[in-house]
């Protein structure tokens, strides 16, 4: 009997050694289970131990296990005094602390406090989150659909917090070994897909591009590139064609925004073919240029509202719909919904902002060189618009309305040079700049690359995708 007991002891020790090396928690669980099983079925085990079959099986298993242990690292597993593994001594083990997560989303009307309270978050945790994120996240700017994930320990203490206020704005705090908290903005991995859309105008540019189910932001950005060359309110014609090569950013296969428009083309029956190519001039200065290196931006853009309907044109003999008389209309009326933003067509200073008779609320800008522009029938002015204020091209200065003598919401837009009014859509201006020297050489190389890129995307089998990691030192710009 003693011999069998010794073999079973060796077998048991060997198994313990294997388990302690590869899975210490398993050793304890099996050890407890084996003890209960042994006590319940002691007589059956004794009978089995007294058979020669067990001796054969036990010795064979012991030899196999011993060989395996030496094959792993060439050294035997040492035993601690007392003949048991130190991890299993006293059948005690260490576990990682249990944690629980609270996931929440900011709803309309929520504050951080009310959102935390509705999710059962303790005041102490809320204070820890606000304190740790101080100077990193401004919770006064939080918006509906902002999301957060709180990780708490057994005692309800904060372990970490993830706050997501947008696809690119993800911040986290984590508890350090010393018990303090460290906050940081997380890097975000995106897929950048370069795509191309092209089509024909049947009614309007907006309708034509909307057919591709792209966001209006892309449509307005495309129109803005050619704002100094064509007025898409009055000069689009049936059969005009367009082409756009642009970037789309995706996160986990979900669209998050547009990158750069790389190539833009518009073949107009009214003004002829237009092309624009994106070029980085260095030092953070980017712009669009035509094939010859002329910048597609002039001292004045053609229209203060990118997408609007011309309800009345420039004329010296127009029947006034309210006064019922014929008189000159030395401007252009652009019909648009009340509240539509109005842009300054060029850099300048506010000469007048107030009520002006039949024009209602009006702004007059002085652009120097004898040029002035007039914006009438506004519903309200933009902030900081007052006499003497400096404005910049495309800055929002006011909003469409129907003040003064008006039959409906529209903008009365006028331009004068040295006191003489002219049709603002017919005035010609010089390009802002022209590339030369080294920059012109670099642009021509970029032009060739972009032209080949646009041509390659005609093949539907070609999909251009690159991974972009957005960091604090590697930000991206979106439309």
What are 222-240's pLDDT values in tens digits?
988 988 888 887 788 999 9
- Integer Cα distance of 339 and 349 in angstroms: 23
- Integer Cα distance of 379 and 403 in angstroms: 6
Going from the C-alpha of 456 to that of each of 19, 86, 461, the distances in angstroms are: 60, 67, 10
Q: Tell whether the model's pLDDT for residue 346 goes beyond 60.
A: yes
Question: Position of tokens 């986290």?
Answer: 172
**Chain centroid offset of residue 259 CA:** 10
Dihedral Cα 391, 394, 399, 401, nearest 10 deg: 110
Q: How confident is the model at residue 84 (pLDDT cuts 50, 70, 90)?
A: very low
Q: How confident is the model at residue 460 (pLDDT cuts 50, 70, 90)?
A: confident
The three-state DSSP-derived secondary structure of 316-356 is EEEECCCCCCEEEECCEEEECCCCCEEECCCCEEEEEEEEC
Tell me the three state secondary structure of residue 147: strand
Give the number of other CB atoms < 10 A from CB of residue 305: 20
Which fold, 190-298+438-470? Nuclear Transport Factor 2; Chain: A, (3.10.450)
| Res 277: pLDDT | 97
Q: Tell whether the model's pLDDT for residue 16 goes beyond 70.
A: no
| Res 98: pLDDT | 76
* Higher-pLDDT residue of 215, 19: 215
- Tens digit of pLDDT for each residue in 347-396? 999 999 999 999 999 999 999 888 999 999 999 999 889 999 999 999 99
| Mean pLDDT, rounded, of the chain | 82
CATH superfamily for domain 309-422: Glucose Permease (Domain IIA) (2.70.70.10)
* Higher-pLDDT residue of 89, 283: 283
**Chain centroid offset of residue 171 CA:** 14
| Res 49: pLDDT | 43
Beta strand 361-368 with 390-391 is unpaired
- Tens digit of pLDDT for each residue in 108-161? 999 999 999 999 999 999 999 999 999 899 888 899 999 999 999 988 899 999
What is the percent of the chain with per-residue pLDDT over 90, rounded to a whole number? Answer: 50
Q: Tell whether the model's pLDDT for residue 66 goes beyond 70.
A: no
DSSP string covering 244-293, please? EEEEEEEETTEEEEEEEEEEEEEEETTTEEEEEEEEEEETTEEEEE-TTS
For the sheet with 147-152, list strands across it: 100-105, 147-152, 158-166, 169-175, 181-185
| Res 427: pLDDT | 83
100-186, which class in CATH?
alpha beta
Region 213-217: mean pLDDT is: 88
* Domain extents in the chain: 2-91, 100-186, 190-298+438-470, 309-422
Q: Which of 61-65, 375-379, 423-427, 469-473 has the highest mean pLDDT?
A: 375-379
Q: Answer whether 381's CB lies under 8 Å from 398's CB.
A: yes
Lowest mean pLDDT among 11-20, 153-162, 333-342, 403-412: 11-20
Q: One fold for both 100-186 and 190-298+438-470?
A: yes
Region 39-62: mean pLDDT is: 51
Tell me the three state secondary structure of residue 231: coil
Q: Which of 41-50, 64-73, 105-114, 420-429 has the highest mean pLDDT?
A: 105-114
């Amino acid at each position: 009997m003693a011999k069998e007991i010794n073999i079973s002891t060796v077998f048991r020790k060997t198994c313990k050694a294997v388990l302690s090396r590869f899975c210490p928690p398993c050793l304890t669980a099996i050890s407890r289970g084996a003890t209960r099983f042994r006590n319940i079925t002691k007589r059956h085990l004794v009978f089995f131990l007294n058979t020669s079959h067990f001796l054969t099986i036990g010795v064979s298993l012991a030899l196999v296990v011993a060989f395996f242990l030496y094959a792993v690292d060439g050294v035997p597993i040492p035993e601690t005094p007392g003949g048991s593994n130190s991890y299993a001594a006293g059948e005690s083990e260490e576990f990682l602390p249990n944690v629980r997560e609270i996931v929440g989303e900011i709803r309309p009307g929520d504050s951080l406090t009310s959102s935390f309270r509705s999710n059962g978050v303790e005041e102490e945790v809320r204070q820890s989150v606000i304190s740790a994120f101080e100077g990193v996240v401004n919770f006064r700017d939080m918006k509906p659909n902002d999301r957060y994930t709180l990780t708490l320990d057994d005692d309800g203490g904060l372990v970490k917090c993830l706050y997501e206020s947008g696809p690119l704005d993800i911040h986290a705090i984590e508890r350090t070994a010393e018990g303090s908290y460290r906050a940081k903005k997380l890097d975000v991995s995106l897929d950048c897909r370069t795509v191309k859309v092209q089509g024909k105008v049947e009614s309007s540019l907006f309708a034509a591009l909307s057919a591709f189910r792209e966001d209006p932001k892309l449509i307005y950005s495309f129109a803005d590139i050619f704002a100094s060359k064509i007025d898409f309110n009055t000069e689009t014609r049936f059969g005009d064609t367009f082409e756009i090569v642009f970037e789309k950013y995706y996160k986990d296969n979900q669209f998050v925004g547009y990158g750069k428009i790389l190539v833009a083309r518009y073949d107009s029956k009214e003004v002829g073919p237009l092309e624009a190519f994106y070029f980085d001039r260095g030092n953070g200065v980017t712009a669009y240029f035509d094939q010859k290196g002329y910048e597609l931006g002039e001292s004045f853009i053609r229209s203060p509202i990118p997408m609007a309907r011309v309800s009345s044109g420039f004329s010296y003999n127009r029947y006034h719909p309210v006064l019922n008389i014929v008189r000159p209309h030395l401007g252009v009326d652009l019909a648009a919904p009340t509240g539509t933003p109005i842009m300054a067509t060029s850099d300048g200073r506010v000469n007048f902002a107030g009520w002006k008779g039949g024009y209602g609320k009006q702004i007059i800008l002085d652009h120097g060189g004898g040029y002035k522009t007039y914006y009438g029938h506004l519903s309200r002015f933009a902030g900081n618009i007052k006499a003497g204020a400096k404005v910049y091209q495309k800055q929002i200065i006011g909003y469409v309305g129907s003040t003064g003598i008006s039959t409906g919401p529209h903008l009365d837009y006028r331009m004068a040079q040295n006191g003489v009014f002219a049709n603002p859509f017919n005035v010609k201006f010089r390009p802002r700049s022209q590339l030369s020297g080294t920059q012109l050489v670099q642009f021509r190389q970029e032009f060739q690359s972009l032209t080949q890129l646009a041509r390659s995307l005609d093949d539907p089998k070609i999909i251009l995708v690159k991974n972009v990691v957005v960091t604090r030192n590697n930000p991206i710009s979106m439309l």
